[in-house]
Amino acid sequence: MSSTRREMPTIVRAVLVVALIYIFLVGVSSLEGGIKVMGEDTQERLFSSVSNPLAGLFIGILGTVLVQSSSASTSVIVGLVATGALGVDDAVPMVMGANIGTTVTNTLVSLGHVRQSQEFKRAFAAATVHDFFNVMAVAILLPVELVTGVLSSAAEKISEQLVGSAGSEWKSPIKQWVKEPVSWIQDGLDGLGASGNFLGTLMVVAGLMLVLLALTFITKNMRRLVADRIERSLNKVLGSGGGLVAMLLGLIITISVQSSSITTSILIPLAAAGVVTLRNIYPVTLGANVGTTITALLAALAASTPEALTVGLVHTIFNVSGILLLYPAKPIRNVPIRLAEGLAALAVDRRAYAVAYVFGAFIIIPVLGVAILR
């Protein structure tokens, strides 16, 4: 019964991951460079629609649903903030939207169990508990942030301590390392005759492709690299309960694989089979929420302004604050669980509700929201 799969040597895979992280940073930097090449009026036109915070929130949801990765969408947001064209205040709702959008992946995975009622009920509840928690966190923290600016102020203070005050230019060493390949991209496109907005657009597209491709392969390789560790620790931690240890495990796994979707999607078949309970899964998904913010922080290292790091930090602070607000008190902690169980019970009775929920929450409402509010 031994496996016959031919595995790439660990050291080769590790070197590959480092190279992919470098490509990811080049992508973020190329994105920033592309926007900067565009004229100020073009930048103004591009980002004026997100000045409404709710529109920003819905764009964050839609963008993340489209790329199925909040790591990718928040990294792009960080890159845009680094250009100065997108302000921190406008980026914060988008980052919160990314948090909601990323939950679509495990919800889609749970639909794979739709033919077996009891399995589906458990799987769907395990998936949507993440949705409800994130929606509740946004419902509380977005208005608070809009009124007080507490999250962005806290992030700005940390950012100031680390890289300097807003408005200044930060000489990131990472930025220097990725400068050369970005100039190759720009020179190459320039050589093909592209200039002005067209050159900027091509650089943005190239940057987006590099970010998405690099993140996809980083996730794939890291998953292979740490799969045995994930398996071992899941068996140990989930077998003996949930709580803070499970949250920490979610954080570690997500940082390792650079994707909260991977972490939360792994849990769905376990929930479906009844191997772990909804209450054990819940803290793991919260840890994954925090873990996924590491990618945007990494992206901020390739940016040239402190504001980029501020946005990355807002994402982290938002998720940590959400946990601090909604997890410690048992009655509040149970709200997302009860909502998820209720929705799962409805979805089992009528499967169409599940499909309607996915389309409604992740596509129709955000599209309508953007169309109306922009």
Partner 1 sequence: MVMSFFRKGESGLDLIAHRTITMLADARHSFDLASAAVLSGADPEDVGADIRETDDRINQAEQELRGDLVTHVAVHGSFEIGSVLSYTLLIKKIERIGDQAKNILDLADEGVSLAGHADTDEMLKIRRQISKMMTEAAELLSSENMEQAADFRDRCDSLRFELETTIREFMHSEQPGSFAVPRAILYRYWKRIVANLAGVVASATEPIQHQDYLDAGETDISDD
Question: Which residues sit at the interface with partner 1, rule CB under 8 A?
Answer: 1-3, 5, 226-240, 245, 248-249, 252-253, 256, 266-270, 273, 275
Q: Which is nearer to partner 1, 169 or 231 (by Cβ)?
A: 231
Residue type, 39: G
**Helices and strands per DSSP (H, E), number in the chain:** 18, 0
Distance CA 290, CA 130 (A): 12
- Spatial contact of 66 and 285, defined as CB atoms under 8 Å apart: no
Give min distance, CB of 207 to partner 1, in A: 31
Q: What's the rounded Cα separation, in Å, for the pair 151 and 142?
A: 9
Residue type, 116: Q
Say how far apart CA 311 and CA 169 lie, in whole Å. Answer: 16
Cβ proximity to partner 1, 256 vs 295, nearer residue: 256
As to burial, measured by CB atoms within 10 angstroms (0-12 exposed, 13-18 middle, 19+ buried), residue 255 is buried
Q: How far is the CB of 129 from partner 1 (least distance, A)?
A: 17
Q: How far apart are CA 192 and CA 45, in angstroms?
A: 26
Supply the minimum distance, in Å, between the C-beta of residue 107 and partner 1.
16
Q: How many CA atoms lie within 13 A of 345 on its CB side?
A: 6
Distance in Å, CB of 250 to partner 1, minimum: 10
Neighbours of 368 (CB within 10 A): 12
Least distance (Å) from partner 1 to the CB of residue 251? Answer: 9
Q: Whose Cβ is closer to partner 1: residue 47's or residue 120's?
A: 120
Looking at the Cβ atoms of 292 and 304, the one nearer to partner 1 is 292
Q: Which is nearer to partner 1, 234 or 337 (CB)?
A: 234
**Among 21, 14, 20, 2, residue whose Cα is nearest residue 224:** 14
- Is the Cβ–Cβ distance between 254 and 260 less than 8 Å? yes
Which residue, 265 or 304, is less far from partner 1 as judged by CB? 265
Nearer to partner 1, 230 or 309 (CB): 230
CB of 269 to partner 1, least distance (A): 4
8 A C-beta contact, residue 321 and residue 47: no
Helix axes 196-239, 278-291, angle to 10 degrees: 140
Count Cβ atoms below 10 Å from residue 157 Cβ, excluding itself: 12
CA neighbor of 183 nearest in space, from 199, 159, 163: 199
Q: Which of 5, 115 has the CB closer to partner 1? A: 5
Minimum CB distance to partner 1, residue 283 (Å) = 11
Smallest gap from residue 268 Cβ to partner 1 (A): 8
